[in-house]
Structure 1
Amino acid sequence: MGVVLVHGLWHGAWTWDAVRAALTDRGVDSVAVELPLTDLNADVATTRAALDDLGRPAVLVGHSYGGAVITAAGSHPLVRHLLYVAAFQLDEGESVSRLLPGESFPETSLPEAMRVEETEVGLDPVLGAQLLYSDASADVASAATARLRPVGRRLFRGVPAPIAWRSTPSTYLVCAEDRVVHPELQRAMARRATRTVEWPSGHSPALTRPEQVAALLAEIAASC
């Protein structure tokens, strides 16, 4: 059983480096996808290609926006389980900017940190780091912030299809101290998952709790 890891907005495959090292120590093979971050369909196609290249059953993991990606890409026949990490577990017709119609949730300061251009959206390095890496060491936060990149505006309107979690088991990891995706919104989306786990973590546990993330993944992989 392998693990395929999908990062969120503004990030890259490097997000998962420490988790992958911890998985290797546990004898679990992994692949981290480098998303183009231009539109959802392209990101889904890239993830499905990574599953093709892996060529064997896998746990598919999505962090934050990566949840939208795995919701669609998770229909791949090799996927045995989906793990949403503070992620967008979307339903039919939903996008990361429009979900759970009719419900309201507390807002975070993420919109204030976003720098919207004609075709791309960047992130203010100071406020963005405070939100993304609120429980990280200064060194980890600084190194990660230096690697962030703008993303395509179309990503925020992308609607996944099909909806893989309807037919594939899923786990939702709620990050209870998240300043990007409000924990109450996470808990609402987690109602769609087969299982929910909650940690007292900020938005980026792959960087702040890699051993714990790897242990959870190894447990899931062993149970598939």
Structure 2
Amino acid sequence: MKTMKFYSVLLIALIVAFSSHAQSAASEKPAIIFVHGIWADGTSWTDQITGLQAKGYPVISVQNPVTSLAADVAATQRAIDMAKGKVILVGHSWGGFVITQAGNDPKVIGLVYVAAYAPEIGETVPELQKNAPGTELSKYFVPAGDFVYLSEAGVKAAFANDLPVKERKVIYATQTPASKTVFGDKSGTPAWKQKPSWYIVAKGDKTINPDLERFMAKRIKAKTTELESGHVVMIAQPKAVLRIIEEAASAKN
């Protein structure tokens, strides 16, 4: 009798422990990894970082070297490796190229494209841009050795055209220039073919044509939201962008 009672108590304890572990795993929030684009940096996501941290999400904002697609993917892969559990990748602009590649990691459960490129295998930036009329962004390129900066006039006219002067000046001062060669780097196998995707179209974008964004969002079968914003959507519409990231993070995968 005592033996049966002992095993009954042990069984109950095991059931409780298993249930507790299962509930803990189910409630564990995925890590959110942000990937900035060209002429931006990891602080572009400050509003989303602080908002997510306040809700208990682990967050990493990658600082891309923008020397090559491979180098940026490697930087993002290091962040994925640091994450303890599942991962949502969020990419802006050129960062879309990066998350399209890095998203193939098994830990990644969703992709959020924020006015971002979503390439097919073998595509480069110029090839993607053929799918819609171009913008005047290239008028504002400032070569510096093997890199390309964006002029202050370009930040104002095409990159952050809907932001206050103070914020535009910060973007200009903190921009990460692009190696001249990244525009010719070809995308590999796209993660969006296997992973659920969300896409934010910036309706007032003067860096990437909004029609090109719509084309890419449709092609990858993303859940799409259009926002009244210029290219730097995460700064112009921080709450709306945060809401979509949380939607992706809470989706059943």
TM-score strictly above 0.5: yes
2:22 is matched with which residue? none
The structure 2 residue matched to 1:46, chosen from 75, 79, 93, is 75
The structure 2 residue matched to 1:65, chosen from 91, 94, 97, is 94
Q: Which runs of 5+ in 2 are unaligned?
A: 1-29
The structure 1 residue matched to 2:162, chosen from 135, 143, 154, is 135
The structure 1 residue matched to 2:85, chosen from 50, 56, 69, is 56
Moved over 4 A (4+): none
2:182 is matched with which residue? 155
**Contact 1:43-1:69 at 8 Å conserved across structures:** yes
**Contact 1:68-1:90 at 8 Å conserved across structures:** yes
Rg larger for: 2
1:99 CA displacement:
1.8
**Contact 1:71-1:163 at 8 Å conserved across structures:** yes
> Partners in 2 of 1:41 and 1:29 — Cα distance?
25
The structure 1 residue matched to 2:222, chosen from 175, 194, 198, is 194
Identity over the aligned pairs, expressed in percent? 32
Deviation by residue 1:76-123 (Cα, 9 ceiling, x = unmatched): 11100001111000001101122276x4x2221101011235521111
The code of the aligned residue for 2:111 comes to L
Richer in helix (by share): 2
1:180 CA displacement:
0.4
> Partners in 1 of 2:146 and 2:192 — Cα distance?
31
1:197 CA displacement:
1.2
The structure 1 residue matched to 2:60, chosen from 31, 37, 56, is 31
1:166 is matched with which residue? 193
The code of the aligned residue for 2:178 comes to V
Deviation by residue 1:176-211 (Cα, 9 ceiling, x = unmatched): 110100101111111123311111111112112222
- 2:241 is equivalent to residue 213 of structure 1: yes
- SS of 1:97's equivalent in the other structure is helix
**Contact 1:26-1:218 at 8 Å conserved across structures:** no
Q: Which runs of 5+ in 1 are unaligned?
A: none
> Partners in 2 of 1:26 and 1:175 — Cα distance?
26
- 2:151 is equivalent to residue 110 of structure 1: no
> Partners in 1 of 2:115 and 2:86 — Cα distance?
23
**Contact 1:94-1:100 at 8 Å conserved across structures:** no
- Number of aligned positions between the proteins: 222
TM-score by length of 1: 0.94
